Amino acid sequence: MKKGIFFLSGLLAAQLILAAIFNSTGEEYGTFQVEEKLLSFNRQSVTMLQINDGTDSVKLEKQAGKWLLPGSNNFPASQSQVEQVLDKLAALDKGWPVARTSRAAQRFGVGEEQFERELILLEDDDTRTTLYVGTSPGFRKVYVRPGNKDDIFTADFNTWEVSAKSGDWIDKEILVLDESSVQRIRMSGIILQRRESELLVAGLAENEETNAEASRALLGKLAGLRIRSLLGREMESEYSQDELVFEVRITNEGGEVLDYRFFKPENTSYHVLKRSDLDYYFEVADYLVDPVKETTRQKLVQDTTAEMSSDPAGDERNGMNDDS
């Protein structure tokens, strides 16, 4: 009996000692609510997202319902990319804190001066929310700290999703067209004109027809053209118009005309593109441009005479005609 009492007394003493040590560290979690979200902001009223990494910084602003890059002459940002990041930030659960001291903040890379990323959200009523994103304790995990709190948490997040470089946020599909809206393509002496669901080569001889597969491939390459980066509003001196490589003119449904002017800087793996409806110059990878540039009339046209001569039934019919 006495042994039991001594054991319980010792256990109680140990608990009291541990509680005292725990409280002395300043880690006070008595009122913590694990069900809370990490950040408290109105997802729909966010009008600005700024991302800093200590070296680079990018600002995204929402104007007239569209996300733009003010530092890049208000070039459109990838709308889906920004919205996905905001959705993830709004969905982050608080979890249990792992630390709350200033030394821990420095160690985990979530301090005010030492961080992997500093995210600043601004709402339309000027409410400001800050999140520091730090080092990673494991796969798809990062340490985070809300800017107005000392508590440090781990969160399911990827640092690479919040790049501080503006080039990683531009809308790389800004040139993409609806293929069905393209009515006419003119390039290097070639004209393709839409007839119902197909683009057909104009000016065919009696023994020629459009190679439908090649025509669809050309349309797909032009309509699906993606940019690699933004070169700005003014053409750089090394991209002078004397170095124009080729031009393409596309007429869309409704009569809209788009002129594509391609330039090729020396010793590069890309072309420079200026499209008439956009006040910007773009970098487009060679592997996307070369197949368009190398398209010839011969690749878009096939000889119907050759097809008939390779058709056994046609040879037999021709033989029957000869016999008659």
What SS3 class is residue 225? coil
pLDDT of residue 269: 94
pLDDT at 292 over 50: yes
Q: Tell me the backbone φ, ψ of residue 149, rounded to 5 degrees.
A: -130, 160
Taking alpha carbons only, the member of 123, 119, 132 closest to residue 164 is 119
pLDDT at 320 over 80: no
Q: Higher model confidence: residue 11 or residue 138?
A: 138
Q: What's the pLDDT tens digit per position in 59-87?
A: 999 999 999 999 999 999 999 999 999 99
Nearest-10 crossing angle of helices 212-223, 286-293: 140
Q: CB atoms < 10 A from the CB of 143, how many?
A: 25
How far is residue 97 from each of residues 28, 113, 135, 150, 263, measured CA to CA in Å? 10, 21, 15, 10, 55
Taking alpha carbons only, the member of 103, 99, 85, 97 closest to residue 43 is 85
**Two structure tokens written together for 86:** 């905001």
**Two structure tokens written together for 19:** 């509680």
What does pLDDT average to over the chain? 86
CA–CA separation, 95 and 37 (whole Å): 8
Residue 95: which pLDDT band, with cuts at 50, 70 and 90? confident
Q: What's the pLDDT tens digit per position in 121-161?
A: 999 999 999 999 999 998 889 999 999 899 999 999 999 99
Q: Which amino acid is at 237?
A: S
pLDDT of residue 108: 96
Q: Higher model confidence: residue 6 or residue 249?
A: 249
The three-point CA angle 283-267-246 to 5° equals 55
pTM of the shown model: 0.78
36 DSSP 8-state letter:
S
Taking alpha carbons only, the member of 218, 221, 101 closest to residue 151 is 101
CA–CA separation, 67 and 69 (whole Å): 7
pLDDT at 316 over 50: no
pLDDT of residue 322: 39
Lowest mean pLDDT among 16-25, 81-90, 96-105, 288-297: 16-25
pLDDT at 218 over 50: yes
What SS3 class is residue 120? strand
In the chain the first and final C-alpha atoms are separated, in Å, by 125
Q: What's the pLDDT tens digit per position in 226-265?
A: 999 999 886 655 555 557 999 999 999 999 999 999 999 8
Q: Tell me the backbone φ, ψ of residue 251, rounded to 5 degrees.
A: -110, 125
Asked if residues 245 and 262 have their Cβ atoms less than 8 Å apart, the reply is yes
